């Protein structure tokens, strides 16, 4: 039964140019993660992402919320990982965020996959997930034989790590796992060594409180601290730990933003001013998540590290039109008392 299920799934995925596989929901494999997950939460490594602390159960016991699910399908959706640019030359946006939000793209793919699986397996039931449910996608990708967990905490393959993960919880029973990927990180610590804030450890643990991506996306207060002092142009996300990975050397693409996007610091700041067009330009991209106010604050905070005189000039310009009072107060405070010197 399992091999026929896997063969049918493989044919459907191949028809859509996708890579993926299916694995059973093993209570032992999921539950064995619980001590590590709770230790990570208890140590505060989840940063300001409070929902991670309140959603441990579905991450280690998905059968509680989805008791009908017997297996899961995981698929990969590639994106372009840009080559490293000159530090601070212009605002940097992570590769995955340069264009239409991947949730929209993955949703369309998973809907088609659902429909075809329902046709191939009448009476089956499924539930879509794409980094929008309380499920451990990387761990599920490992169990589905799609790669290994790298020291940068991402799912890694010998063809790199520049892909999104999504999939389906499925009611069809399978009784075996795909062959596992061997861990090919070896003694390499390139990602750990390159992280400018020390957010990664050689044991494969991420401290979100020190992560630039957490600081410029999830931390709504854009808190002062190590990431704020280390930022050198990272405005949305960060690709450093992927760009230095030897397995990503051959897949990186030209470092270019979409043609309609701003390029210079001045253009970005003007876009983020009231009526500048931020919402209309980024409405269906990941940047809508951070919003105009936070993006503008991150832009200016980066500039204080790179060029204090330029930061001061643009801050004064922003104050002429900015209407968001908390942001106005923060800008005034930086003009009166500039942020700590960069690391």
Q: Which residues are catalytic?
A: 131
Nearest to 163 by CA among 141, 191, 136: 141
Q: Which two tokens stand for residue 195?
A: 């992280």
Nearest to 144 by CA among 178, 110, 172: 178
- 164 DSSP 8-state letter: E
CA–CA distances in Å: residue 292 to residues 83, 276, 334: 26, 10, 19
| Nearest-angstrom CA–CA distance, 38 and 43 | 8
Nearest to 182 by CA among 148, 222, 221, 137: 148
Spatial contact of 247 and 232, defined as CB atoms under 8 Å apart: no
Phi/psi-derived region of residue 162, left when phi > 0, alpha when psi is between -120 and 50, beta in every other case:
beta
State the DSSP H helix or E strand holding residue 235, giving kind and residue range, or none if neither.
Answer: strand 234-236
Considering all CA atoms of the chain, what is the largest pairwise distance in Å, rounded to the nearest integer? 70
By CB atoms closer than 10 A (0-12, 13-18, 19+), residue 33 is middle
3-state SS class at 52: helix
């Amino acid at each position: 039964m399992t091999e026929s299920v896997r063969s049918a799934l493989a044919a459907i995925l191949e028809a859509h140019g996708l890579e993926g596989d299916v694995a059973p929901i093993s209570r032992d494999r999921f539950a064995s993660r619980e001590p590590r997950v709770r230790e990570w939460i208890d140590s505060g490594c989840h940063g300001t992402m409070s929902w991670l602390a309140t959603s441990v159960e579905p991450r280690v016991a998905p059968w509680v919320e989805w008791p009908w699910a017997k297996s899961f399908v995981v698929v990969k959706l590639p994106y372009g990982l840009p080559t490293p640019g000159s530090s601070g030359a212009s605002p940097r946006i992570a590769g995955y965020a340069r264009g239409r939000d991947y949730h929209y793209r993955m949703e369309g793919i998973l809907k088609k996959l659902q429909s075809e699986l329902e046709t191939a397996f009448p009476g089956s039931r499924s539930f879509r997930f794409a980094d929008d449910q309380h499920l451990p996608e990387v761990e599920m990708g490992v169990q589905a034989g799609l790669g290994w967990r790298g020291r940068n905490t991402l799912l890694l393959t010998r063809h790199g790590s520049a892909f999104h993960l999504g999939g389906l919880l499925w009611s069809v029973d399978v009784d075996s796992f795909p062959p596992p990927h061997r861990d090919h990180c070896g003694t390499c610590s390139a990602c750990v060594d390159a992280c400018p804030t020390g957010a990664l450890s050689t044991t494969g643990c991420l401290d979100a409180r020190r992560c630039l991506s957490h600081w410029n996306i999830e931390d709504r207060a854009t808190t002062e601290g190590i990431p704020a002092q280390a930022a050198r142009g990272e405005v949305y996300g960060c690709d450093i730990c992927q760009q230095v990975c030897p397995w990503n050397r051959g897949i990186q693409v030209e470092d270019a933003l979409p043609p309609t996007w701003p390029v210079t610091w001045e253009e970005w700041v003007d876009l983020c001013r009231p009526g500048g067009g931020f919402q209309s330009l980024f409405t269906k991209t990941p940047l809508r998540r951070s919003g105009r106010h936070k993006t503008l604050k991150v832009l200016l905070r980066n500039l204080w590290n790179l060029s204090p005189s330029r930061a001061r000039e643009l801050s004064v310009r922003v104050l002429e039109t900015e209407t968001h009072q908390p942001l106005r107060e923060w800008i005034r405070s930086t003009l009166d008392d500039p942020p700590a010197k960069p690391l």
